[in-house]
Structure 1
């Protein structure tokens, strides 16, 4: 499946959230990651973020698609993220 992860964590946890996300997805820009992921790794990703987050302060949004071919992506302005992020 193809996933877009958007997160907003308190400053003291934001670096750890990025580190968790990058184990499974590609960093696109501040607090946004995307990529293909297996169902098993998707469950692991959610569990790790859930264990890190404080639900009173932090939030996560996960957009899931059957595959990347059912999504469209446009970039405008400054490109952030790595060059290994070829979609």
Structure 2
């Protein structure tokens, strides 16, 4: 399944039956940084730490820590959202 198959996710949902009501955690990862415990304990309000991604790179969309898609951050009024640009093969199912 990929970004060229709109509705592909809905077809998978239709096949879930009762399992479709199970709660999962969907999260969006903007980037990460590896730090020592000493560095973590030294964190202060206002500190800035560079992440491992550039501003123009897609964000990862995960379900229960499993990568399923990539997308871009969008503004929806006073909130943020994610526009999916790629659904990864094997990400759902």
Q: Is the TM value for this pair above 0.5? A: no
Would you tell me which structure has more strand in proportion to its own residues? 2
Would you tell me which structure has more helix in proportion to its own residues? 1
TM-score, structure 2 length as denominator? Answer: 0.22
TM-score, structure 1 length as denominator? Answer: 0.23
Pair member with larger Rg: 2
